[in-house]
Chain A
Amino acid sequence: MKIIIVGCGKVGTSLAERLSGEDHDLVMVDLNAKKVNDASNRFDAMGITGNGASFNIQQEAGVDDADLFIAVTGEDELNLLCCLMAKKSGRCQTIARVRNPLYSKEIRFIQEQLGISMIINPELTAAREILKLLKFPSAIKIDTFAKGRVELLRFRAKPEIGFGKKSVMELIAKLKTDVLICAVERDGTVVIPNGSFIIEDNDVLSIVGSLENTAQFFEKIGIRSKRVRNSLIVGGGTIAHYLAQSLLKIGFRVRIIEQKPERCDYLSEVVPGADIINGDGSNRELLLEEGLASADSFVALTNMDEENIFLTLYAKKNSNAKLITKVNRISFDDVIESFDIGSVIYPKYLTADYILQYVRARQNSIGSSVETLYKLLDGRAEALEFAIREPSAVTGVPLMDLNLKDNLLICCINRKGIILTPRGQNKIQVGDTVIIVTTNEGLRDIRDILKD
């Protein structure tokens, strides 16, 4: 596909990095010539310096034969204008990033009236992601498939649950639940385990299963899913705004610590149900005074990555709260991971993820049968949902007889809404959706799971 990306910021480059890996033709547009040069050299894309909303620049970028136009500059209005122009001068699908909460209420209207295919709001997306985690606090990260019927959860096998030195097969037999361990992270590497794989203490496991089964799984291994009833949020930015609104709706107690008085005024107007505390979130006394020690969850959402990390490290020491940290810069994700501070949210990464899912889905109509795609474990593995539309080499054959690629696992078969955890004698049938977890990138078709 030919894709034009306007805006070479963090989201733009992170998108370009992943799209160029999937063999798309990319054109990057930005006002800053240096950024354009860097991006076009790094990702084998064509670079154009100029305003992406200008007709001439769009022509130069080849909007006429582009398939997709993505506007991810820092300004909402510019993004919308870019998409509007592209829509009028080309026949491409358009995606715009719009983050102003004012517009977010009217987003459906804007999207319909301007004919934009997808509008993405990074802060709202991040808030939704945090909400999911707070609803299910034992997991570090949650993804859903098959329209929410299947969950992929990531959690650390702490020594107290006693997984150490047991093989995957033993564990499953012992626990008698229908979930599948689909990936194991150890010392920064990702392994797709087979039955004889031995798990060590402190590995990070990813499991797939239906909603009931995963809940059952956590109960059986003794992690009682302690319900989170309240939340202490540091930093009253836009994410906090969205998050507080949705948390209040499901009956949480929410307390937001924010430094700027004007922002506090605003927040107390828009989220009247929450306690708004005006103060410095990095003040230890203040945190303890506002009940850090007895908080169920602690969310660090200030604008400084470093401060967020310090805050959660401090909260980890002083409470049993579920910890969530927002980090803007993507570059050092592997280092942050090693701190063991629970869930880390990268809003820019999430935005890129959502757009990438859309791109994959678009490609659907041109040959590939990927329904959804999740980058797992910071892009080191992928979970793909395939729709099986026609008979092929993989259908009607018992799974144990399939010659699958290495580092690839069939995690789940969704047969007319019933979730099967596949065993050796199961067969894939036409009409199923199948979820595959793999560390091999670039699968396009269900037949790609077989060895050549």
Chain B
Amino acid sequence: MNYSMIFYIISWILNVEAALMVPSCIVALLYGEREGMAFVASIALCLLLGLPRSRKAPPNKVFYTREGFVTVALSWICMSIMGALPFVFSGAVPKLIDALFETVSGFTTTGASILPAVEGLPHCILFWRSFTHWIGGMGVLVFLLCLLPLTGGGYHMNLMKAESPGPSVSKLVPKVRSTAKILYGIYIVLSVAELIFLLAGRMPIFDAICTTFGTAGTGGFGIKNDSIGGYSIYLQAVTTIFMILFGVNFNVFFFLSIRKPKAAFECEEARWYLGIIAASTLTITFFIRGLYPSLFLAFHHAAFQVGSIITTTGFATADFNLWPQVPRTILVLLMFIGACAGSTGGGIKVSRILLMIRSVSRELHQFIHPHSVNKVTLEGRTVEQGTLHSVHVFFITYALIFSASVLIIGFDGFDLTTNFTAVAATLNNIGPGLELVGPTQNFALFSPLSKLVLIFNMLAGRLEIFPLLLLFVKGTWKKF
């Protein structure tokens, strides 16, 4: 393990985090809020810890997969702890575990909150909450990669692999750093576009910025108690469309930007993703048509909730907890599917689901023709056995963590639906679940142990499990 390199990168992460807290200070200044001091104190602390070690790059820049995974996991943990400080210092969230839950929920773009009411909070705290979504959406190490050459040439891939969602990382252009820059470019352009559309619908600028952050990172922290429910139909529609856009594989936007629309439309994963959205929306519309005055409104709310859940954003315009059983079931299933690989969304990812279903059908085919040779394909290419294997192992690990988490939080004594959806909502980075953790409820009722488990779930969900699990493997830390 190249510890000096890991510390060097984490120090840089802390410096970057200090810089990212500056906008919150500005917000505090604009609104004349005393809580701004909490941010100044946090910035000072970040720099105190970050600056000394980040001055000089260590001479040994060797950086293997193991170091990449450990760095990413540790960075996210450190980032979350430091990010929780403003909540504690300002008194907005007095308990440390709650503040940590809120911050992790922010960075992992989950959007699950322990706050019963958010409208009373100072603007700078609300801004920070939403801003963490935007930072976490594309990933902070990817951001760091754009800014400075951390390690030598080929080693960058080891960082990117650990932080980017999806079964395999595809480069858009030869260099990892250039790829990171392009991804952030797309991210910023889409965010600005949403902001403009929201402002055009006469949303107040502060609300528009926070909603954009929540949508772009597919996070879901609202700044109103009723999430997005209070805004006009136009604003909700804009949010729906952008939620769905941010859940699309960013490769598609890249192909569009270099004027290769054919390649963009041929993206199999994105087509399935949009297909699933369309099918679910129509089914749900059919079942809830009686609850709303017009069919259009039923469609509107169905589309919003489907978009919000499948992209793992977690905004709500309606309390879907009160909907009939079929729509509720569909929504819970969508939680697991998640968005596309290479997007800002969470969940298992459409491409993994496709690969698993195709593996099953290949297996069945083998029963009928035991000697036949079949390959699983995706995007018109044969998928290597190694990739398939890692997808299967991912799913098994995912299921194990899921069951263990449900078991542990079961000791708090709530009903199964609550426990099940609470774990689903955190492990898939969605936010709201059903029953006691439904869209109008929050996670404050759980015991500290359960919160810790849910925090773990959120991080595991965002980093796709393995970087985090690697921290608990003995061999990771051994010299030989």
Residues of chain A touching chain B, judged by Cβ–Cβ distance below 8 Å, are 2, 20-21, 25-27, 33, 40-46
Q: Is there a chain A Cβ closer than 8 Å to B475's Cβ?
A: no
Give chain A residues whose Cβ lies under 8 Å from the Cβ of B153: 20-21, 43-44
* 5 further interface pairs, Cβ-Cβ under 8 Å (given A27-B174, A41-B158, A44-B157): A25-B178, A40-B157, A41-B157, A43-B154, A44-B176
CB distance from A45 to the nearest CB of B (A): 5
Interface pair A46/B154, CB less than 8 Å apart? no
Interface pair B173/A25, CB less than 8 Å apart? yes
Interface pair A44/B173, CB less than 8 Å apart? no
C-alpha gap A45/B174 in the complex (Å)? 5
Give chain B residues whose Cβ lies under 8 Å from the Cβ of A33: 384
C-alpha gap A171/B154 in the complex (Å)? 44
Q: Is there a chain A Cβ closer than 8 Å to B175's Cβ?
A: yes
Interface pair B154/A42, CB less than 8 Å apart? yes
Chain B interface bracket (under 10, 10 to 19, 20 to 34, 35 or more): 10 to 19
Closest 4 CB pairs of A and B: A46-B174, A25-B174, A44-B153, A42-B154
Q: Is there a chain A Cβ closer than 8 Å to B123's Cβ?
A: no
Give chain A residues whose Cβ lies under 8 Å from the Cβ of B174: 2, 25-27, 44-46
C-alpha gap A25/B173 in the complex (Å)? 8
C-alpha gap A374/B178 in the complex (Å)? 30
C-alpha gap A21/B156 in the complex (Å)? 14
**Pairs across A and B, CB under 8 Å, 21 listed:** A2-B174, A20-B154, A21-B153, A25-B173, A25-B178, A26-B174, A27-B174, A40-B157, A40-B171, A41-B157, A41-B158, A42-B154, A43-B153, A44-B153, A44-B154, A44-B156, A44-B175, A44-B176, A45-B174, A46-B171, A46-B174
Please tell me which one of the listed residues B156, B158, B173, B384 contacts residue A46 in the complex, with CB atoms under 8 A apart: B173
CB distance from B389 to the nearest CB of A (A): 14
C-alpha gap A41/B419 in the complex (Å)? 41
From A26, which residue of chain B is reached at the shortest CB distance? B174
Within 8 A of A (CB), among B141-184: 153-154, 156-158, 171, 173-176, 178
Give chain A residues whose Cβ lies under 8 Å from the Cβ of B173: 25, 46
From B155, which residue of chain A is reached at the shortest CB distance? A44
C-alpha gap A21/B149 in the complex (Å)? 13
Q: Which of B157, B171, B174, B178 has the most chain A CB atoms inside 10 A of its CB? A: B174
C-alpha gap A38/B176 in the complex (Å)? 15
Give chain A residues whose Cβ lies under 8 Å from the Cβ of B176: 44
What 1/0 flags go to B97-116 for Cβ under 8 Å of A? 00000000000000000000
C-alpha gap A46/B173 in the complex (Å)? 7
C-alpha gap A26/B173 in the complex (Å)? 9
Give chain B residues whose Cβ lies under 8 Å from the Cβ of A2: 174
C-alpha gap A25/B171 in the complex (Å)? 12
Give chain A residues whose Cβ lies under 8 Å from the Cβ of B384: 33
CB distance from B64 to the nearest CB of A (A): 10
C-alpha gap A26/B153 in the complex (Å)? 12
From A46, which residue of chain B is reached at the shortest CB distance? B174
C-alpha gap A41/B175 in the complex (Å)? 10
From A61, which residue of chain B is reached at the shortest CB distance? B174
C-alpha gap A20/B152 in the complex (Å)? 10
CB distance from A32 to the nearest CB of B (A): 11
Give chain B residues whose Cβ lies under 8 Å from the Cβ of A44: 153-154, 156-157, 174-176
CB distance from B356 to the nearest CB of A (A): 21
Interface pair A25/B175, CB less than 8 Å apart? yes
From A45, which residue of chain B is reached at the shortest CB distance? B174
Give chain A residues whose Cβ lies under 8 Å from the Cβ of B178: 25
Give chain B residues whose Cβ lies under 8 Å from the Cβ of A20: 153-154
C-alpha gap A43/B153 in the complex (Å)? 6
Give chain B residues whose Cβ lies under 8 Å from the Cβ of A40: 157, 171
C-alpha gap A383/B384 in the complex (Å)? 44
CB distance from A46 to the nearest CB of B (A): 4
C-alpha gap A46/B178 in the complex (Å)? 11
Interface pair A41/B154, CB less than 8 Å apart? yes
Give chain B residues whose Cβ lies under 8 Å from the Cβ of A45: 174
Q: Which of A2, A21, A25, A46 has the most chain B CB atoms inside 10 A of its CB? A: A46
C-alpha gap A432/B156 in the complex (Å)? 41
CB distance from A346 to the nearest CB of B (A): 22
Give chain B residues whose Cβ lies under 8 Å from the Cβ of A46: 171, 173-174
CB distance from A14 to the nearest CB of B (A): 14
CB distance from A57 to the nearest CB of B (A): 12
From A60, which residue of chain B is reached at the shortest CB distance? B263
Give chain B residues whose Cβ lies under 8 Å from the Cβ of A26: 174
CB distance from B146 to the nearest CB of A (A): 15
C-alpha gap A46/B154 in the complex (Å)? 11
Give chain A residues whose Cβ lies under 8 Å from the Cβ of B175: 25, 44
C-alpha gap A2/B173 in the complex (Å)? 11
What 1/0 flags go to B376-394 for Cβ under 8 Å of A? 0000000010000000000
From B170, which residue of chain A is reached at the shortest CB distance? A46
From A42, which residue of chain B is reached at the shortest CB distance? B154
From B386, which residue of chain A is reached at the shortest CB distance? A34
From A21, which residue of chain B is reached at the shortest CB distance? B153
From B384, which residue of chain A is reached at the shortest CB distance? A33
From B263, which residue of chain A is reached at the shortest CB distance? A60
From B65, which residue of chain A is reached at the shortest CB distance? A41
Give chain A residues whose Cβ lies under 8 Å from the Cβ of B156: 44
C-alpha gap A46/B158 in the complex (Å)? 14
C-alpha gap A21/B175 in the complex (Å)? 12
C-alpha gap A40/B169 in the complex (Å)? 12
CB distance from B105 to the nearest CB of A (A): 33
C-alpha gap A42/B153 in the complex (Å)? 8
What 1/0 flags go to B169-212 for Cβ under 8 Å of A? 00101111010000000000000000000000000000000000
Give chain B residues whose Cβ lies under 8 Å from the Cβ of A42: 154
Give chain A residues whose Cβ lies under 8 Å from the Cβ of B158: 41
Give chain A residues whose Cβ lies under 8 Å from the Cβ of B171: 40, 46
